[in-house]
Chain A
Amino acid sequence: MNTAYLRLENITKSFPGVLANSGINLSVEKGEIHALLGENGAGKSTLMKILYGYYQQDSGSIYIEGNLVDIRTPTDAMRCGIGMVFQNFMLIPAFSVIENIALAVQKQGQMIQSQELADRIRDTAACYNLSVEPEAKVWELSIGEQQRVEILRLLFTGSRILIFDEPTSVLTPQEVEGFFEIARKLSSDGYCILFITHKLREVMALADRITVLRKGTVVNTALRQDVTESDLAYMLVGKPTIESIESDQLQEPVSQDVTLEFHDVFASGERGRSGLQGVSFTLQEREILGVAGVAGNGQTELGEVVLGLRPCSQGRIVLHGQDLTNRSTAKILEAPVAYIPEDPLQTGVAPGLSVLENMVLHKRDSQRGWRGLVMDWKEIRAKIELNVERFGLTLPNLDRPVITLSGGNIQRVVFVRELACQPRLTVAFHPTFGLDIAATKLAHELFLTSRSQGSALLLISEDLDELFALSDRIMVMHAGSVAGIVNPKTTQPFEVGLLMTGGATT
């Protein structure tokens, strides 16, 4: 135990309302490749950010080669030889590779010896198959090459422990293979490698040892040869923990009327992501279709295309028999379509305005044209109070600015606003992300109420428990296309996990 190169002992960290890490122990040998496996919110990123000095643990200690170290800032971590490659690379796109590396290599004279540095970069790169042109600007490089620049930078700053946050999430399969080779070479030279992931196949292909985290605690640490892929999938997901919802609502028959149809839809993705690559599906009235997938596989783009926020380059989107392909957002929302954003404070409300004013943000029914020009706030207030009553909710004072509300209350404002228009379709992006248990439960109840009133729901979420508890069907996205649509009642979570990670369908 004490021979471990890096040892984390009893790390605990809580954020307001969330226990992110609870008594975590972890040890990494010299030259070991160690995978940290867990779902979103399992606490793996938090743990690594503590190690890198981004956060500070509430309690617990970190030892390197048996010595207790005190890491308060990233600079401290670097001094201890710990380096991290974030999911969003910390590179400056307008700079050349040399400049990006020179930025991190401190105190080597006031002049930048480009030529000398370029030679050193080439030497190191040759050593580890990190081939990259030192003179090139970072924006010209592929994502895989950018990752190599990040790795080079860590090597240049003398890091011995390399942390990778989801290193393969944005890479192509070929680049993934290249990354594996680099990682193996580094480990054989004595570097410790810690990588965060939720892709089972990669864990099996690369890791020497695996630690599975769930809900802030270590489920298990195992050597790779001792476990199978399905063992890991089971450990990863665990048993559904959300209480099952009253059965009468769930057993309500799904209507046969089609609400939403996607015909072979293509759309471009956000910076290097896959976007949508020919997605087809139908969504019935009174149906909740869960959309599962590892972040960046097209789920967000799917929702944005429905709402007209992202142009659809090919294919057709039909809502209740009406072609809505590439119509304006205002037109689509009028259908009416409800929209629950993932981070309301950033994208769903105007924080400086009052609750009342935020309640009518989306133009709907009679609010367009001259007829809707004059805002009768008294009438609006009365209407809203009625709606709030209908949902059996208590809302905070309508005159308070939204910024002064708690996260749960902001989400509640959005829910009432969106569901009050009696939508035919609701698009929800990670609706309960960051909410506490009570608020999550309320959100789920509201979804079911809205469904029993005739709305169809497209539920995009990374929380498998939630998807299994609520969905009538679950659609799994991988690399911009539909990897499969399954019935949650007859499917095990780990099977969905396999589909998400590009594993074989059974």
Chain B
Amino acid sequence: MEMLALVRNNRVIDVLRMTGMMALAFIAVGLLLLSFGKNPIEAYGEIFKGSLGSTYGLSEVVVKMIPLMLCAVATAIPARMGLLNVGAEGQLHIGAMWATWGALTLGEWPKEILLPTLVLLGFLGGAVFAFIPAFFRVKAGVNETICTLLLNYVAILIVEHMVHGSWKDPMSFNWPFTREFSDAARLAFYGNTRIHTGLWFALGAIVLFYLALKRTRWGYELRIIGDNAEAARRAGIPINRYIILTLCIGGGLAGLAGMAEVCAIQGRLRPGISTGFGYTGFLVSWLALHNPLKIILMAFLLGVLSLGGDMIQISLELPYAIVNILMALIFFIVLGRLAAGRKEY
């Protein structure tokens, strides 16, 4: 019982320390704002009022959370075995592209068949794109981080190539986007909000990830590899198979986020379907320490900041960059804390 109390106590201290450090990040950005003659309290107030102060704001936070959660899981699954997938942004774009191909060419199909096909296409697109770094990692020991990172630029270029080229809507007055998808290819919205059925993909992915980690041999072996790859090898766990599997599943989930963006929010493919969801999702995963349930919480937090960033652009004419700085500082703090924790061993 004493042990239990101690653990709980430690956890409380931990949470307090974490909150305190995050507060530091807020104070630092506040000072930056002050030094440029802006009122930080007003800015923070606006961020939270805009996102949490109304049902509309809250619903928009949820809309942001959908791709964030999917991209976070895309990062977290490989991260559990020690791989850094920074390519969710690119995988999201390719997933969106494959789904777009489906929507544009199979648009006549009935909704019941078309939508599952698009979901599958989105997943496959991301998975295939994530297979590239996984393959090089297994075959040549190529660092997956730099590979996924550069492939992000490639993915965006490919998407731009398509929307400027053969997929361009002839009615678009030369704007780079595709034709609008048929109704059969659209995901449903709930009520008056923009919350769409993609939410269930995200929550489903998180729940499955949670169950896989806790309850299955796959999740168990994943954790073993992440903790001690040599022991895993000696226990006969096929590490290379896991590298390919985790990166591809992660890529698929990010691709699903892309599919949801084009089939629900945008209704067509265009450049800038993602406002850095892949990168913010990466951050969410690290803040949550790659823990599935915490991902929901952290996606909410960063969703609030992200939406708040949009809000202050309009209401206070402050740049969105404020939020990016805040997120980067929080990331630094988490990294430093992780490293400090490791040293105690």
Contacts and interface: CB of A to CB of B under 8 A. Distances in A.
Partners in one complex: yes
Interface of A: 307-309, 328-333, 339, 341, 346-353, 357, 360-363, 367, 372-375, 377, 403
A87 to B, nearest CB: 22
A439 B233 CA distance: 27
B231 A361 contact: yes
Contacts of B235: 329-330, 333, 361-363
8 closest A-B pairs by CB: A330-B236, A329-B236, A350-B227, A352-B227, A350-B228, A350-B224, A361-B235, A362-B235
Given A348-B231, A361-B231, A361-B235, A375 B224 contact: no
Given A328-B236, A329-B233, A350-B227, 20 more contacts: A307-B234, A332-B236, A333-B235, A346-B228, A346-B230, A347-B231, A347-B234, A350-B231, A351-B227, A351-B228, A352-B228, A353-B227, A357-B224, A362-B236, A363-B237, A372-B217, A375-B214, A375-B216, A375-B217, A403-B345
A403 B227 CA distance: 11
Contacts of B214: 375
A194 B179 CA distance: 83
B220 interface: yes
Contacts of B217: 363, 367, 372-375
A373 B214 CA distance: 11
Contacts of A372: 217
B215 interface: yes
Contacts of A375: 214-217, 220
Contacts of A329: 233-236
Contacts, number: 72
B268 interface: no
A357 B228 contact: no
Given A350-B223, A357-B223, A361-B224, A341 B234 contact: yes
Contacts of B218: 373
B93 to A, nearest CB: 33
Given A367-B217, A374-B216, A347 B236 contact: no
Contacts of A346: 228, 230-231
B79 to A, nearest CB: 14
A455 to B, nearest CB: 19
A357 B220 contact: yes
A86 B117 CA distance: 64
A353 B236 contact: no
8 contacts: A341-B234, A346-B228, A350-B232, A352-B228, A357-B223, A357-B224, A373-B217, A375-B216
Contacts of A307: 234
A308 B234 CA distance: 9
Contacts of B227: 350-353
Contacts of B230: 346-347
A377 B228 CA distance: 21
Contacts of A350: 223-224, 227-228, 231-232
Contacts of A374: 215-217
Interface string B190-214: 0000000000000000000000001
Nearest to A352: B227
B33 to A, nearest CB: 40
B276 to A, nearest CB: 31
Contact of A349 (B223, B231, B233): B231
User: Is chain B's interface secondary structure helix, strand, loop, or mixed overall?
Assistant: helix
Contacts of B228: 346-347, 349-352
User: Is chain A's interface secondary structure helix, strand, loop, or mixed overall?
Assistant: loop
A51 to B, nearest CB: 31
Contacts of B224: 350, 353, 357, 361
Contacts of B220: 357, 360, 375
Contacts of A353: 223-224, 227
Nearest to B236: A330
Contacts of A309: 233-234
Contacts of B232: 350
B186 to A, nearest CB: 36
Interface in B6-21: none
B290 to A, nearest CB: 13
Interface in B222-256: 223-224, 227-228, 230-238
The residue among B214, B216, B227 with the most chain A CB atoms within 10 A of its own CB is B227
A150 B233 CA distance: 35
Contacts of A360: 220
Contacts of B216: 373-375
A330 B215 contact: no
A347 B230 CA distance: 6
Contact of B237 (A330, A341, A351, A377): A330
Contacts of A363: 217, 235-237
B6 to A, nearest CB: 13
A170 B215 CA distance: 48
Contacts of B237: 330, 363
B310 to A, nearest CB: 39
Nearest to A308: B236
A360 B220 CA distance: 10
B219 to A, nearest CB: 8
Nearest to A331: B236
A367 B218 CA distance: 11
A276 B169 CA distance: 69
A352 B228 CA distance: 8
Nearest to B229: A350
Contacts of B345: 351, 403
Contacts of B231: 346-350, 361
B38 to A, nearest CB: 44
A329 B236 CA distance: 5
A349 B231 CA distance: 6
A173 to B, nearest CB: 34
A378 to B, nearest CB: 11
A372 B234 CA distance: 19
Nearest to A353: B227
Nearest to A346: B230
A286 B28 CA distance: 69
Contacts of B238: 330
A341 B218 CA distance: 24
A287 to B, nearest CB: 24
The residue among A333, A349, A373, A375 with the most chain B CB atoms within 10 A of its own CB is A375
Nearest to A309: B234
Interface string B41-76: 000000000000000000000000000000000000
The residue among B218, B224, B232, B237 with the most chain A CB atoms within 10 A of its own CB is B224
Contact of B234 (A339, A352, A377): A339
Interface in B89-142: none
A309 B218 CA distance: 22
A328 B240 CA distance: 14
Interface in B273-316: none
Nearest to A344: B231
A331 B238 CA distance: 12
Contacts of B215: 374-375, 377
Contacts of A349: 228, 231
B309 to A, nearest CB: 36
